Structure 1
Amino acid sequence: MPFTLHPLTSLTAAGCTAVITTAAGTWPLSLAVALAAVLLALRAGAGRRVLVTAAAVLLPLVLSLLMLHGLFFPEGRTVLAAWGPARVTVEGMAFAWEAGTRTGACVLVLLLFSFTVSAPDLVAALAARGLPPQFGFVLASSLTLLPAVAGRLERIRAAQEARGLVLRGGALSRLAAVRLQMVPLVLGLIEDSGSRAQALEARGFGGPGPRTDYREVADPPAQRRLRAALLLLTAAAVALRLGASWPAAGSA
C-alpha cells in the first residue's frame, strides 16, 4: 500500500515550511525549498500546473520588487548605474533577490499543497476535527479555484488583445498591463466564490442540526506526531527569529 499523507499533515507541512522559510530569511534556504517544491510537484504529476500558476502570480511581484528596491533602495551605497533619482545598487538588488526568492518559495509550497491535496478528504478531515462544514467547503472551493487562475489569465489576455490592447511589449508595458489583467481576474474569482457559496447554502450546508459523515480519512498516529513536531519546530524558528531581532531593536 503506497504511503499517503493525511490532508492535515500536508496542510501543516506546507504552512510550517512557509513560516520557517520566512523566519529564516536566507536565500539559499529559499532556493532549496523552491527546488524541493518543484521536484515534488513534478513527481506528483502537477509540475506544469504549479509552474504556470506560480509564474502568473510571481511575475508581477518580481517586477515590482525590482522597480522598488532595485532602483529606489534608500540604503543602497554601492551604485552600479544611475538615471536621475533611480539608482541600481548592490544592496537594493540583494534585498530584491532575497525577498523574491523567499516569496517564491512560499508560493510554490502553497501551490504544491493546493494542487496535490484531495479536497473531499480535506473537508472530511476538517469536519472530523469539529470545524464547521462551511469552513471546509470554502477552503476546498478556494483550492479548486487555484488551477483555473492561469487559464483565466490567458483568456483575459486574449480578450484584451482582441480589443487592441498590446500586452507583449517590453517590461514596462507588461508592468502597466498588470492592473488591467488583475482587476477582471480578482472580480471573476470573487464572483465564482459567491456562486459556490450560494450553491452550498441552497443545499443546506449552512443549516443547523446533526450531520452524518460518509467519508472517513485514516489519520495514523505517526502523522499526528509528525504534525506536532512540525508545529514545535516552527514555533522554535519564529522564537529564534524574534530573539535575534530584539537586540538590534534595543540598540537602535
Structure 2
Amino acid sequence: MTAPPAGNPAAPATAERERLNPLTSFAVAGSTAVMTTAAASWPWSLTVVAACIVLSLAAGTAHRVLPAAAAVMVPLGLSLLVLHGLFFPEGRTVLAAWGPARITAEGLDFAGQRTLQLAAVVMALLVFSFNVRVPDLVAALSARGVQGRFAFVLASTLTLLPAIARRARSIRQAQESRGLVISRSLVSRAAAFRLQAIPLVLSLIEDAGTRAAALEARGLGNAGPRTSYRMVPDSTLQRAARSVLVLLSLAAVVVRVVLAGTGG
C-alpha cells in the first residue's frame, strides 16, 4: 500500500472511510432513515440534514450529493406544498382562499415538516450511495452468506439513486436541446414528466438486462462455494454498533406505533 500524497486534505478522510465496513455505513444510513421517519420531528430532521451536509463536505462528495438531493426533493417538496398547503382538511388558520383551495398555516407547517423529513431520509441514503464502493459492499455481503448474484444486485440497487439522477438529467438536457419547453403549468410539467420518465425506465430496463447477461457470463448464477479475493475490514466494535443501530431502529418503530395507537 502506498502512502497518501502529501498535502492532500482528502487523503485522511479517504483512509478513514476505507477502514469503515460498508455494512456499517449502510446500517448508519438505514437506521437514520428509519428513526427519522418514526420520529417525525423537524428538529431531528434538520439535525440529520445538517449532519449529512457536513459529512458530504468532509468526504468531498457535496458537489454530487447536493444536486442529486435537489433533483429528488424539489418536485417532491412542490407536490407536498400544493397538496397540503392548499387542501389540508385539518387547517383552521386560513391565509388565503380561492374557491375550494385554501392556504392554511397548518397545511404549510405540515408540508414543511414532511418535506424536511423526506429530505433527511433522501440525503442520508445519498451520502451512503456516493461514498460506498460497490465491490467492497458485494464482498461484505458475500462474506455474510449472501449469494453472489443477489449481493451484486442489492449493492447496485443501493447505489442506483446517483445513477438515476444523472441519467434523468441527461435525458432532460437531450430533450430540451430538441425543443422541449417546460412551462410553469401543471399540464406542461405532467407532459414533460411523461416524456422523460418513459426513456428513463426503458434505459434502466436495458441496463438491467446488460448487467444480468454480464453476471451470467461470470458465473454468478452458479451454485457452490465461493472464494472472495477482496478483503473488507471489519471489527467486533463495528458488528456491535450495527446490532445496536438495528435495535434502536426497531425500538423507534415500536414507540411510534404505540404512540399512534394511544393518540400521542
TM over 0.5: yes
Residues 21-170 of structure 1: pairs in structure 2 closer than 5 A: 21-167=36-182, 169-170=183-184
CA distance in 2, matches of 1:237, 1:143: 23
Residues 168-179 of structure 1: pairs in structure 2 closer than 5 A: 169-170=183-184, 172=186, 175-176=189-190, 177-179=192-194
TM-score, normalised with respect to structure 1: 0.91
* Deviation for aligned residue 1:9: 0.5
Deviates more, 1:215-224 or 1:143-152: 143-152
Say which SS state the counterpart of residue 165 (structure 2) adopts.
Answer: helix
Check whether the contact 2:20–2:233 (CA below 8 A) recurs between aligned residues: no
CA distance in 2, matches of 1:171, 1:94: 24
Deviates more, 1:152-161 or 1:214-223: 152-161
Computed over aligned residues only, the root mean square deviation of the Cα atoms, in angstroms, reads 1.9
2:200 to 160, 169, 185: 185
Q: What percent identity do the matched residue pairs reach?
A: 58
Counterpart residue number, 2:227:
212
* Deviation for aligned residue 1:174: 6.7
Unmatched segments (≥5 aa) in structure 1: none
Q: Does 1:197 align with 2:212?
A: yes
Deviations 1:13-71 (A, max 9, x none): 10000000000001111011011111101111111111111111112111111111111
Unmatched segments (≥5 aa) in structure 2: 1-11
CA distance in 2, matches of 1:174, 1:8: 43
* Deviation for aligned residue 1:153: 2.1
The one-letter amino acid paired with 1:170 is: R
TM-score, normalised with respect to structure 2: 0.87
Check whether the contact 2:172–2:196 (CA below 8 A) recurs between aligned residues: yes
Distance 1:58 1:81, change over 3 A: same
Check whether the contact 1:119–1:140 (CA below 8 A) recurs between aligned residues: yes
How many residues align? The count is 248
CA distance in 1, matches of 2:46, 2:197: 27
Deviations 1:110-165 (A, max 9, x none): 01101101111111111011111111111232345433333322221222223322
